[in-house]
Amino acid sequence: MTPDTELEVKFIKAQNVLHQVSRSIAFLGMWPEEITSSSRIRLAMYLTYHIFRVLMELIEFAMVLGNLQLTIDNVTNTGFQVAVILRLTSWRFNPKMRYAIEKFNEFHQRHEFQNTRELDVFIRYSEYSLAVYKIIRTTSVACVVSWYLTPFQNYLFAKLQNETFVFVYPFRMPPFEIFSRLDVAFLVHFTDIGMAYVSICFALTYGLYFTIIHHICGQLVIMSDRVRNLRVDPTVSMAEVFRPIIEKHTAIIRVSKALDDCSNVFLLYELLNTIIVIGLLAYYLIVDGDASSAVIVNYSLATINILVLIFANCFMGQCLENESMNLLEAFYDYQWHDMPLSYQRGLLICMLCARSPLKMTAGKFYKFSLEGFTIILKSSMAVISMLRKTV
């Protein structure tokens, strides 16, 4: 296979990355592209099933309020499941998400790349996005499966320690008498495979979101490369030189803002839920010296998985900001003093457009970044301190 042929094969694979990482939620009918009658049926079935289970968890919350461990279990589960519904429905029903995906696909058409160097950047970012998606898939499957198998873990620990086995639903159910029957419990637990799959899909949306954000970063890298290699020809008008750059940058800004507009609400909810849940889980592990081994394992895995997911948001936001600033530096570092006056004015317009870095936000006010991740950890520690003083 010649180098050019090999490059084209890699390019085609890179173009299909978004399709690969969206398969899991497309199965639920939650992907905003290629909507069919079958996907609408799957969507209706999913929403009916998931909303019913969340209502059951809310009923249980009202009934167990006052029991610390059961309350923490319920808040962790219910908060997580509400986050799943918010994130998936925001993507499915918000037209700005559909716009962002359409533009995303337009950016990756063959004619959008001017040379093999730009193709290499696109392929590298696609491969990296796919690798991150696979890591998230592995960790989320491990965590959700461990959580789903909690009853079996409790059974094993009870047998090893000669204790009475009590069936505890991993996905909460109200403590009605019928649910205490072992046959009913196992039947409900079997149907909760759907909840486990949806929970994995939620984690995988982080990989999907990372793919989109990372490809926006790749487009910024390509733009920075074009600016640094810009050649001034006095016989060509300023408009012909800078119009493609300004149009490309404007398109990237619009995609980034559309993505932020359709995600900032559920990201705000997830941010607040993360701070509270991490605080509750850590507090329980600290104060309850009699916690079972199964509880310690599952709470620890849940805390680690939550931290990994929220760190992914912060890392994506930091990457987006860094590449935006790199583009601004590319404009600033250009030898503008050797350019004709009209070109200098065009470059100034580009600088003004690049002064505001692209960002991911929660509620339009909290900016996701590595510095913001430390703020989240500090806030969770504050929740732990407050609980230790008041509870």
How do residues 94-116 score in pLDDT, each as one tens digit?
Answer: 888 888 888 888 888 888 888 88
Q: Confirm if 249 and 223 have CB atoms less than 8 A apart.
A: yes
Q: Confirm if 313 and 366 have CB atoms less than 8 A apart.
A: no
**Among candidate residues 350, 329, 342, 322, the one with its CA nearest the CA of residue 247:** 350
How far apart CA 39 and CA 269 sit, in angstroms, is 27
| Side chain identity, residue 387 | L
Amino acid 173: pLDDT: 77
* Across 85-99, 185-199, 290-304, 348-362, least confident range: 290-304
* Annotated domain spans of the chain: 3-390
Amino acid 86: pLDDT: 87
**Among candidate residues 135, 145, 138, 139, the one with its CA nearest the CA of residue 210:** 135
Q: Confirm if 306 and 80 have CB atoms less than 8 A apart.
A: no
Average pLDDT estimate for 54-81: 82
pLDDT bin (cut points 50, 70, 90) of residue 291 is low
**Among candidate residues 297, 302, 282, the one with its CA nearest the CA of residue 153:** 297
How far apart CA 242 and CA 354 sit, in angstroms, is 14
The pair of three-digit structure tokens given for residue 13, joined into one six-digit string = 């694979």
Of all residues in the chain, the percent with pLDDT exceeding 70 is 96
pLDDT tens profile 112-159: 888 888 888 888 888 888 888 888 888 888 878 887 887 777 777 777
Say how many Å lie between the first and final Cα of the chain, rounded: 68
Amino acid 302: pLDDT: 77
Query: What is the sign, positive or negative, of the torsion defined by CA atoms of 25, 29, 35, 39?
Result: positive
pTM (2 d.p.)? 0.84
Taking all residues of the chain, what is their mean pLDDT, rounded to a whole number? 82
Instruction: Specify the residue for token string 């084209």.
Output: 8
pLDDT tens profile 243-253: 888 888 888 88
Average pLDDT estimate for 308-319: 87
Amino acid 389: pLDDT: 76
What 3 state SS string does the chain have? CCHHHHHHHHHHHHHCHHHHHCHHHHHCCCCCCCCCHHHHHHHHHHHHHHHHHHHHHHHHHHHHCCCHHHHHHHHHHHHHHHHHHHHHHHHHHCHHHHHHHHHHHHHCCHHHCCCHHHHHHHHHHHHHHHHHHHHHHHHHHHHHHHHHCHHHHHHHHHHHCCCCCCCCCCCCCCCCHHHHCHHHHHHHHHHCHHHHHHHHHHHHHHHHHHHHHHHHHHHHHHHHHHHHCCCCCCCCCHHHHHHHHHHHHHHHHHHHHHHHHHHHHHHHHHHHHHHHHHHHHHHHHHHCCCCCHHHHHHHHHHHHHHHHHHHHHHHHHHHHHHHHHHHHHHHHHCCHHHCCHHHHHHHHHHHHHHCCCCCCEECCCEECCHHHHHHHHHHHHHHHHHHHHHC
Q: Does the structure show a pLDDT above 80 at 177?
A: no
The pair of three-digit structure tokens given for residue 258, joined into one six-digit string = 């559309």
Of all residues in the chain, the percent with pLDDT exceeding 90 is 0
Q: Does the structure show a pLDDT above 70 at 292?
A: no
